[in-house]
């Protein structure tokens, strides 16, 4: 798969597409949208925060797991300035989004401990890509709803006067 991803727009219906090759809509090839000089490339941190709801602390802990191999909460508490409960909460979130694996191990002395191991970078890329596409679909739906609410409030205001309060409430 090529790393050169382009944004496309249909000249007939306005649909947008993202891809690394020709995209068709309305039975015609979509047009390439030229790069906007105002747009900036998101950092990895910004992307992970927006798409996977990953905090800076979680990114740091994820990198520790990737560098350290199999680690426990206690090991990470020794390596970082974070307390065990915070690390545990963040590692559980990282496991739930699929960027680390969580495995229970029984101790010879009794009890148990959870071991966190990294997943392959390709697995993380695939997961991030999947989540990004789902996030994009949901964000697009929100934008479409906002546009629809705006048009409806202009066209048919309750008191005869346009109102914009709809945009400030859930």
- The tally of CA atoms less than 13 A away on the side-chain side of residue 3 is 1
What is the reported pLDDT for 151? Answer: 67
Contact 87, 77 (CB under 8 A): yes
Where are the domains positioned within the chain? 1-38, 40-155
Rounded to whole angstroms, how far apart are CA atoms 124 and 4? 19
- By C-alpha distance, which of 141, 99, 128 is closest to 116? 99
Strand ranges for the chain from DSSP E: 6-9, 16-19, 24-25, 28-29, 31-32, 100-106, 112-118
- Asked if 1-38 and 40-155 have one fold, the answer is no
User: Which tens digits make up the pLDDT trace of 102-144?
Assistant: 999 998 898 999 999 999 888 888 888 888 888 888 888 887 7
Name the residue among 128, 124, 127, 106 with its Cα closest to residue 66.
124
Q: Which CATH class is domain 1-38?
A: mainly beta
The segments of the chain whose pLDDT lies below 70 read 1-3, 35-39, 147-170
What phi and psi values does residue 74 have, to the nearest 5 degrees? Answer: -60, -45
Report d(CA 153, CA 31) in Å as an integer.
32
Architecture of the CATH domain 40-155: Orthogonal Bundle (1.10)
CB atoms within 10 A of CB 128: 20
């Amino acid at each position: 798969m090529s790393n050169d991803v382009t944004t496309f727009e249909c000249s007939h219906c306005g649909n947008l597409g993202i891809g690394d090759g020709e995209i068709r809509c309305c039975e015609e090839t979509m047009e390439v949208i030229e790069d906007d000089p105002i747009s900036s490339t998101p950092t990895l941190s910004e992307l992970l925060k927006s798409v996977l709801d990953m905090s800076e602390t979680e990114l740091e802990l994820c990198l520790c797991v990737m560098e350290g191999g199999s680690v426990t909460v206690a090991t990470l508490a020794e390596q970082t300035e974070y307390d065990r409960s915070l690390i545990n909460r963040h590692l559980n979130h990282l496991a739930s989004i699929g960027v680390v694996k969580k495995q229970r191990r029984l101790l010879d002395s009794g009890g148990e401990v959870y071991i966190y191991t990294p997943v392959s970078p390709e697995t993380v890329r695939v997961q991030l890509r999947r989540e990004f596409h789902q996030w994009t679909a949901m964000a697009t739906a929100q934008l479409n709803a906002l546009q629809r609410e705006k048009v409806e409030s202009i066209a048919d205001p309750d008191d005869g006067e346009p109102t914009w309060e709809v945009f400030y409430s859930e």
